[in-house]
Amino acid sequence: MGRPDYGLSVSTSVTLIVTPKAAVDPDRYTGAVPPDILAALRASEQPEEAGLWCPRSGPVRLLFHLSGPDRLTAGQRLVDDLRLLGYEAELSISP
């Protein structure tokens, strides 16, 4: 007999992390997202709002919190698509 299903579900957070091609000044960031990244997000029906991650070393990165039941699959496709466009991109997955 397997484990009982109590109707509980675990929500997984999927964040797309993209290093822009041009340096971003976090003090002057207006929320603008490069058009090719926007097009990829729209094609995957994902939110277009970006957050910023300013690590202690290295460039500022754009963060996109993905949504929907297929957010992991969409995120993996976005990483592949954005890398083909010359961006550094990765996913952060947390329970």
Domains and CATH numbers, the chain: 13-94 (3.30.70.260)
Span 36-59, pLDDT tens digits: 999 999 999 999 999 999 988 889
What is the average pLDDT across 19-25? 92
pLDDT of residue 8: 39
Q: Which of 88, 65, 85, 81 is nearest to 18 (CA)?
A: 88
**Contact criterion met (CB below 8 Å) for 64 and 41:** yes
pLDDT, residue 57, reads: 87
pTM over 0.75: yes
- Provide DSSP, 72-89: HHHHHHHHHHHHHTT-EE
List, for residues 65-95, the tens digit of each pLDDT value: 999 999 999 999 999 999 999 999 999 999 8
CB neighbour class for 12 (10 Å; exposed up to 12, middle 13-18, buried from 19): exposed
